[in-house]
Amino acid sequence: MCIQRSRTTLSPLTIFPRDHSLFLREVFGDSQMGWIERQRGYLDFTLASLARRKGKNISLISVYALIVFLVSSLVFLTNSLLREAEALLEAAPDMVVQRTVGGRHELLPVSYIEKIKAIRGIKEVLPRLWGYYYHPASRSNYTIMVPADFSLGEDEVQVGEGVNRTWVGSEEGRFYFKAADGSSVVLKIAGTLPAATELVSSDLILLGEAAFRKISGVPEGFANDLAVTLGNKAESLVIAEKIVLALPDARPILREEILRTYVAVFDWRGGVALILLSGAVIAFLIFAWDRAAGLSSEERLEIGILKGVGWDTSEVLTMKLWEGTVVSLTAFVIGVIGAYLHVFFASGTIFERALKGWAILYPEFTLAPEISLYHLVALLLMTVGPYTLVTVIPAWKASIADPDSIMRQG
């Protein structure tokens, strides 16, 4: 066998200095900056690592961002609707008193007003006339109501935006109603309620007392319920008890209870939508777990190389943590910005049917852009946390072995 011997002439090197302490001082000297530089190094490597699996990571971030977008839209919309309801209920009476017979809401004699007024702490009691009117041509149920300060003529009405959009058969600004006695009542549209109040006014028709009684059949001397204003709102519970003692068939409803009902309704609707969405969320988690749990042989080899060149397990995990954070945070930011635009600038198109309105009356209104920090942090923890964990756990399992074993297995 011919053996060729190396005969290359060599010149002294400057790049591999004999005394390497200078380099080491430069390398390890500034320990306070060391941590930041280390993290920067891991992040640099992570970004390079993500960039080389561009297609895979872009598709992952897209699916992830879509899930964040859907969940965030739901949370933002539910929350904003509640805030909207809260704002509108500020003008509601402190207490509403109804009469119940056999557990059902019945008409209430206006003579109750004097009995309630006699209770100390009550400032004002006003009768309220309201009800529902089903219009067969529109196939919609509308709310009819006599406001306390109704200033229009007896043959005039003021309607919500939803009524304007959906009422079928109006002629020259006139609505035709069928009265309780079978006769016709014609009322002229004198105005439309402000769009800002559409959440609660979409299906509302405001009219005079005489027209209301004719259409609804509520006789004179009766009201649907009473609006009570209190001198001191802190006493509402005590006063409610006194009303029940004085009028055993009365049912006082506090403003807080009305708000709680709204919360329950929107939370329930949001919950139903979230359950429908949970399929997609679970599918994504399975996808993420599969991606993260099953490290490819290439990824295992990579971990082995990193350990072989001097990284320890915690450093590999830090890098993987950065990787999970970059992916999940990018998806989170894209998803949340998308949801913000969707809810506050496109009226939450995807979920409005599930969350807004009732029957076929869907209020069209723009919600005030506002996000609570609590919800944002909750979303962040719900989305970024689990993904980062499912990324780190398999990497930890792979990296606890010695580098030689990992590379042999990889």
Partner 1 sequence: MIKLLQVSKCFNQGRINEFKALRDISIEISTEEVTVIKGPSGSGKTTLLTIIGCMTRPTSGRVWVKGQETTSLPERFASEVRRSLFGFIFQQYNLIKGISAIENIMIPSYPAGVKRAVIVKRAESLLEELDINAKAREKVEHLSGGEQQRVAIARAMINDPSIIIADEPTAHLDTDQSSVLLSIFGRLKEQGKTIIIASHDPLVINSEWVESTIALRDGRITEGGHQS
Is 48 or 234 the residue whose CB approaches partner 1 more closely? 48
Is 75 or 395 the residue whose CB approaches partner 1 more closely? 395
Is 6 or 184 the residue whose CB approaches partner 1 more closely? 6
Dist. CA 221–CA 110, nearest whole Å: 6
Dist. CA 348–CA 332, nearest whole Å: 18
Least Å from the CB of residue 336 to partner 1:
30
Is 357 or 410 the residue whose CB approaches partner 1 more closely? 410
Pick one of 197, 305, 331, 392: the residue that binds partner 1 (CB under 8 A): 305
Report if residue 106 touches partner 1, rule: CB under 8 A: no
Report if residue 34 touches partner 1, rule: CB under 8 A: yes
CB 110 within 8 A of CB 127: yes
Report if residue 326 touches partner 1, rule: CB under 8 A: no
Q: Which stretch binds partner 1 (CB under 8 A): 50-58, 242-250, 272-280, 327-335?
A: 50-58
Pick one of 94, 161, 302, 352: the residue that binds partner 1 (CB under 8 A): 302
Q: Which stretch binds partner 1 (CB under 8 A): 37-45, 70-78, 124-132, 147-155?
A: 37-45
Q: What is the DSSP letter of 38?
A: H
Dist. CA 230–CA 93, nearest whole Å: 9
Pick one of 30, 86, 257, 290: the residue that binds partner 1 (CB under 8 A): 30
Size of residue set near partner 1 by CB under 8 A = 60
Pick one of 266, 311, 322, 344: the residue that binds partner 1 (CB under 8 A): 311
Least Å from the CB of residue 328 to partner 1:
22
Report if residue 297 touches partner 1, rule: CB under 8 A: no
| Sites for partner 1 among residues 202-261 (CB under 8 A) | none
Report if residue 25 touches partner 1, rule: CB under 8 A: no
Pick one of 185, 285, 337, 407: the residue that binds partner 1 (CB under 8 A): 407
Least Å from the CB of residue 326 to partner 1:
16
CB 158 within 8 A of CB 149: no
Is 108 or 303 the residue whose CB approaches partner 1 more closely? 303
Least Å from the CB of residue 334 to partner 1:
24
Q: Which amino acid is residue 96, in one-letter code?
A: V
Q: Which stretch binds partner 1 (CB under 8 A): 31-39, 98-106, 183-191, 228-236?
A: 31-39
CB within 8 A of 104, min separation 6: which ones? none
Report if residue 126 touches partner 1, rule: CB under 8 A: no
Q: Which stretch binds partner 1 (CB under 8 A): 28-36, 83-91, 120-128, 220-228?
A: 28-36
SS3 assignment, position 237: helix
Least Å from the CB of residue 389 to partner 1:
22
CB 50 within 8 A of CB 57: yes
CB 17 within 8 A of CB 27: no
Report if residue 42 touches partner 1, rule: CB under 8 A: yes
Q: Write out the residues near partner 1 by the rule CB under 8 A.
A: 1, 3-8, 10-13, 15-18, 20, 23-24, 26-28, 30-31, 33-38, 40-42, 44-45, 48-49, 51-53, 298, 301-302, 304-315, 400, 402-405, 407
